[in-house]
Every structure is written in structure tokens, then in C-alpha cells.
Amino acid sequence: MVKWLGSYPELVEKYYSNGLYPFISKIFRTLLGWIPFSIGDLIYTALIFIAIRYVYVNIRRIKTHKIAFLRDVSLVLSIFYFTFHLVWGFNYYRVPISKTLDLQETHSYNDLILLTERLIDKINETQLLITLDSATMVKTPYDAKEIYQKTIEGYKSLEKEYPFLKYHQPSIKTSLYSLPLTYMGYGGYLNPFTNEAQVNSKLPKFRLPIVSGHEVGHQIGYSAENETNFIGHLVTYKNKDPYFKYSAYFHALSYCLNDINRKDKKLFKEFYGRLNLGVQKNFKELQAYWEHYENPLEPVFKSMFNTFLKANNQSEGIKSYSSVVTLLVTYHMKNRL
């Protein structure tokens, strides 16, 4: 039934993404959004404990009744799968945001170059505005709660221009699993069963605004990673706070430079060399952060997530994050940066 309904994006958009889902999500966020810690993380912890205890207590019966055990596991997974789609997952099959914003689905290499050059000018300008010294890296002065609040205010402002991105009954929280998320290589996640936006607080602070905006993008009903990457950029870029603008420029520039690096390494080095020394230090700070937590299991988690995305209407899997470049280029060509 899930796959059949997923083949009709207009129906999903009308009756689920703009019908049932906003009602369900508001209920969860109203009930749990005021609680300062993550209920979803606690539920996951309890479920893991219950599963381990069940296997331990019933190990003998499992060994002698393997078929019955597999049947029970299949039943639980089926309920989990259906519930996941009911409370959030059907958004994977909605009409793409590119159609909603009337953006082209492809971009030219020349347009990518033009946007990258513009982003370099913008990030250098913003870095200098903040630090008053081109050699000093940006250090965001806000704590996590202040960043979450500024993200909420950013969505209120964005709603005036794009009503379909309205965000009410906020529920943004620091994940209790921030350290495990770091080891897995993730900046945050949305718990679909509690509709809490979870942010990895271990990240360098200048990254938190864009991650917060990204996870709220999931909350308001966009599941595809390239689309929430774009929404996160949009709400952070539109924010009047210079630290938020810096986070947005850094995020967009990272993806554009990565795209250029795959096509022309010489041009990539030239563009990177045009960045203020302070901006380069932030790039090195982020790289050092991920290298510090690099571990043999990270590729395993990434592979699992890649499979999950492909099973949910994202054929590019984890590479879909990078597909945000097309949205960034076509949007900013239409609406000058």
C-alpha cells in the first residue's frame, strides 16, 4: 500500500503532506516540544534495552523455534514500517520542492561557477564583518538554545515569503546521542515517531544554525535530504543575524566547491585560495573535528543509511545530500544572492 500510494505524488502532496501530516506533527510537537530533553532518544534507548532483554530471556526458545521468532520479528518490523510512513515517511513521495518554487531541475557548469564566485565574496565579506580581521576564524557566541530560538524566529520570517514553509509548535532539541551521532558522522536527525528535531551539539558552533534549519525542514514535511539541505540554507541565509548568514554561506560554498573539485581540481584550489584566511581556518576546524572522531564503523552506518534512503524513493542514496547544488544554483540564479 505504501509503494502504491507513493506512485501518486500529487495525491500524497494534497492529502498527506498538506492534509494529514501537519495535523499529526502538530500533535506530537505540542505534546513533547515543551520538554527540554529528547523523549525520542529515551524511547529508542528503552526499545534497545527491551529487545536485548527479550533475546536474553528467550534465547532457548528462539533457538528451538526459529521460524516463530522470525515471524514475530517480521510482524514488529511491518508495524514499524507502516507507522513510520503514517507519521512522517510518506513525505518522501511528495511533489518535489523544485516544482513548488518553479525551479529548473538541472543547472549549467557556468552557473555553478558564477554562484561559487558570489558565495566566496559573500562569505569573505561576512567573515570580515564579524571578526574585523580576515585572518581570524568565526566563533559563534550563542549557545545551542539561543541558536534554536533564532532558527524558530527565522522560520517565522521565512513564512511571510513562503507560506508553505510555516513552522508552528517548535520542538528543536539537543540529542542525548550527540556523541554517538558524531562517531556515525551525522549532524542531527528527526525522530519521526515523536517529531523532535535532534541536533548534534558536539558540532563546531558555526555549523549549528544550518543543521537546526535542516532538521526543522524535516519537521515541516520534507524528507528528501537535498530538499531539507536547501530549506536549511534558505532559512539560515534569510536570517538577519550575521552568524547565521555565515553558516548558510559556508554550507552552500562547501557543496559548490566539492562539485567543482570533482570536475576541476585546479579551479578548486584557485577558489579556495581566494577565501579569507579566517574562513579557511573554519574549513580546517570542521575537517579536524570529523577526523578526530573517524572510526571503522562510520562507513557501516553510512552504508546502512544509504540503503535506507534508496528504499525511500531517493535513488541516489546518501549522494542525494549533494544534489542540493542544483537547487542552490537554480534558486540563486532566479533570486540573486
User: Per-residue pLDDT for 322 more than 60?
Assistant: no
10 Å Cβ neighbour count for 78? Answer: 10
Exposure string over 80-97, b if 16+ CB within 10 A, otherwise e: eeeeebebbbbbbbbebb
**Domain ends where: 62, 93, 124?**
93
Q: Are residues 132 and 180 in the same domain?
A: yes
* Residues counted in the chain: 337
For 81, 150, 154, 184, 312, the CA distances from 232, given in Å and listed in that order, are 27, 13, 10, 21, 21
Q: Are residues 200 and 51 in the same domain?
A: no
Q: Are residues 81 and 103 in the same domain?
A: no
How far is it, in rounded angstroms, from Cα 148 to Cα 209? Answer: 8
Q: Are residues 129 and 211 in the same domain?
A: yes
pTM across the whole model: 0.92
Q: Are residues 84 and 151 in the same domain?
A: no
Tens of pLDDT, residue by residue over 92-150, are 999 999 999 999 889 999 999 999 999 999 999 999 999 999 999 999 999 999 999 99
**Domain ends where: 93, 110, 127?**
93
Q: Are residues 224 and 312 in the same domain?
A: yes
Q: Are residues 104 and 209 in the same domain?
A: yes
10 Å Cβ neighbour count for 77? Answer: 10
**Domain ends where: 39, 63, 93?**
93
Q: Are residues 62 and 211 in the same domain?
A: no
Q: Are residues 208 and 163 in the same domain?
A: yes
Three-state secondary-structure class, residue 230: helix
Structure confidence at residue 295 (pLDDT): 82
Q: Are residues 316 and 186 in the same domain?
A: yes
What is the number of structural domains in the chain? Answer: 2
Burial class of residue 56 (count of CB atoms within 10 Å of its CB; 0-12, 13-18, 19+): exposed
Range of the domain at 80: 2-93
Q: Are residues 245 and 271 in the same domain?
A: yes
Tens of pLDDT, residue by residue over 11-57, are 999 999 999 999 999 999 999 999 999 999 999 999 999 999 999 99
Q: Are residues 33 and 171 in the same domain?
A: no
How far is it, in rounded angstroms, from Cα 216 to Cα 208? Answer: 12
Structure confidence at residue 296 (pLDDT): 81
Query: Residue for cell digits 579569507?
Result: 276
